[in-house]
Amino acid sequence: MPSKDDILIEEQFAQTRMKAGTFRRLMSYVRPYRRLFIINLVFTVLATISQLLGPKFIQLGIDRHLTHIASAETAARGILIISAVYLANLVVGWLLSIIQVKSAIAVGQGAMNDLRLGVFEHIQKLSLSYFDKTHQGRILNRAGNDIDSLDRILTWGVSSLFSSALTFVGVVALMLQYDWRLCLAVSFVLPPLAWATHLFQKRGMVAYRRMREQGSLLTAAIAENITGVRVVQAFAREQANLGRFREIHAGYGERFLVAAKIFHTYMPFVALMSGLGTVIILGYGGSLVLQKEITVGELAAFVLYLGMFFGPIQTMGDLYNALLSTAASAERIFQLLDTQPQVRDRAGAEALPPIRGHIIFDDVWFRYDSTPPDAWVLKGIKFEARPGETVALVGATGSGKSSIVSLLMRFYEPQRGRVTFDGVDLQVATLDSLHRQVGIVTQDNFLFTGTLMENLKFGRADATDDDVREAARTLGTHDLIERLEKGYATNISERGGNLSAGERQLVCFTRAMVARPRLLILDEATSAVDPQTERVIQHALEKLFERRTCFVVAHRLSTVRHAHRILVLSHGEIIEQGTHDELLTRGGAYARLHEEFVRQ
């Protein structure tokens, strides 16, 4: 599981308020919806005006038709008219609010969808080095929970803030119009309210930062255990991991309660101040009514406006609470979006022409970012593969075989030397033009959810069903696929969990062939295939190898004996190379590997 210190490194920016630049960047996702946004603001203004008119109608009803009654009939008719107008204003306000809410949702969800698509697109472009050093749970948290937490700000933030500010200014202006002395009386509750707001902001920021830290640990722990569930079960670690998860979850619960206590202490305090203000107004305002300095209707309207005065304060407090919880999310999302892939198209990069298959490794030195500066994974690798040749890479685990494959795919770039395809340095070619011409089958045999046919067309979307079946027949996998429950229409569960390891491997093999690659890479491609099935596809493999340059990484030496050249690696260096027979004759490292393989 990721350590607390590891999480804290990435959570440290949660200790500060949302920066103006971050807020502007968030609002840039609203810009494409500016027409809807303007409509939302217009209807927010109209809905707020409608709301502010309500107490005014009540005042008119009381002063004109209840406290000064000319006749019962006149009073009843006046009350009926005022009531009808008041009801009409409520209906108009309701209709305006519906349009306001719908436009706010359209703007907010549109912005969130664009942001989510941008994050997903960017994640796919990041280099493998990023995934080597970043926990899967943290990436999922950015693309999921962090974006979801922005809903309160992107959907309702600006609209609520504008409505609250407009209501606050309008209420203050109207209350001053009624009687400045009542406004002065209300001001006695403002100092404790300001003190409480400052305290809430200060402690709330710390509480939400600590809650987000623990939340990241929680998400990372869940993702890690789901990914490694087979290992967990194999080593009977269920109870131990459950105990560790309980500790993390208990910590999250404690921090959540602290944050909730702060928020739910502040909001009732605002309500208490509102009630205290009402008491003051009823007492002092009542004396002014008795002295006939203000009317009963004006006092009633003032009390109603007083309630509206504290409403925006509560709303803005809620908004600040949302801002605290989303500021860190926004910073983390933009940190991800600002992460540049280490391997990307360089300025002036051109598409790689159709690959003939002449590949040269010219004094290549390579190490991963996670390895020490002096610990080279590959050291001075030099070899040449001619068009149509099959090159096999053999050696002990960690000898550098998969690293050479990664450089062929340009998942990484060497620190020294260069890799050329038909005389073109891979670093001056576009990634897309390379990957569209290379087919790879790995021991991971990863399949996506969907039908089997959709998986087989993954590397070549324009392939027809007949193209897929032809490739399967060539490889000898057609009969196996037809024996599945629905044949090519079989639904594949997540990661291909409803197929055996051998079936997944064969499907991945067929998928690579459907793509018609000009360069084929098999990285332990037959590791999950039993010897009998391996013999079935061996003839098809030989036919396919004849038409393209192929690289084969294998522990089973039976799959490489017919290779044109075998490279034997040890500790990142090529210690032997030659054909199968040549290497056996030399009696070196390959001969010892072969002898051990035969004994097994």
Tell me which residue has tokens 């190379």: 577
pLDDT at 503 over 90: no
pLDDT score, position 275: 82
pLDDT at 16 over 60: no
Residues in CB range of 444: below 8 A, 6 or more apart? none
Q: Say which amino acid occupies 330.
A: A
The model scores a pTM over 0.95: no
pLDDT score, position 537: 63
pLDDT score, position 361: 94
Structure tokens at 5: 């210190």
Q: Which of 121, 372, 391, 398 is nearest to 408 (CA)?
A: 391
pLDDT at 88 over 90: yes
> Which domains are seen in the chain, by residue range?
4-338 (1.20.1560.10), 446-517 (3.40.50.300)
Residues in CB range of 101: below 8 A, 6 or more apart? none
| pLDDT tens-digit readout, 218-258 | 877 887 787 777 777 777 778 888 888 888 888 888 888 88
pLDDT at 46 over 90: yes
pLDDT score, position 499: 81
Structure tokens at 412: 């990484």
pLDDT score, position 61: 86
Query: CA–CA separation, 403 vs 378, rounded Å?
Result: 8
CA 30, 34, 38, 43 dihedral sign is negative
Query: CA–CA separation, 466 vs 469, rounded Å?
Result: 5
pLDDT at 531 over 80: no
pLDDT at 3 over 60: no
Residues in CB range of 510: below 8 A, 6 or more apart? 456, 468, 471, 472, 475, 477, 481
Least confident of 111-120, 304-313, 528-537: 528-537
Q: Which of 210, 255, 245, 15 is nearest to 137 (CA)?
A: 245
pLDDT score, position 12: 45
pLDDT at 388 over 50: yes
Distance of CA 398 to the CA centre of its chain: 32
The length of the chain in residues reads 600
pLDDT at 69 over 60: yes
Query: CA–CA separation, 220 vs 8, rounded Å?
Result: 13
User: What mean pLDDT, rounded, does the chain reach?
Assistant: 83
Mean pLDDT of 389-405: 89
Sheet with 565-570: list strands edge to edge.
Answer: 438-441, 519-523, 549-553, 390-395, 565-570, 573-578
pLDDT at 542 over 80: no
Helix H or strand E segment including 500: none
Mean pLDDT of 314-323: 73
Query: CA–CA separation, 563 vs 127, rounded Å?
Result: 31
Mean pLDDT of 60-66: 82
Q: What is the bridge-based pairing of β-strands 359-366 and 378-385?
A: antiparallel
| pLDDT tens-digit readout, 205-227 | 678 777 877 777 787 788 778 77
CA 184, 189, 190, 192 dihedral sign is positive
Local structure of residue 142 (DSSP, 8 states): I
- The secondary structure of 471-506 as a DSSP string is HHHHHT-HHHHHTSTTGGGPEE-GGGTTS-HHHHHH
Higher pLDDT, 206 or 112: 112
Query: CA–CA separation, 456 vs 501, rounded Å?
Result: 16
pLDDT score, position 67: 77
Residues in CB range of 163: below 8 A, 6 or more apart? 44, 47, 48, 312, 315
Position 540 confidence tier, pLDDT thresholds 50, 70, 90: low
Percent of the chain with pLDDT over 70: 91
Q: Say which amino acid occupies 537.
A: I
Position 321 confidence tier, pLDDT thresholds 50, 70, 90: low
Structure tokens at 91: 């209906």
pLDDT at 496 over 80: no
Residues in CB range of 3: below 8 A, 6 or more apart? none
Least confident of 175-184, 465-474, 497-506: 497-506
Neighbours of 31 (CB within 10 A): 10
Structure tokens at 302: 């003032």
Mean pLDDT of 411-420: 92
Q: Say which amino acid occupies 587.
A: G
Q: Which of 578, 572, 577 is nearest to 416 (CA)?
A: 572
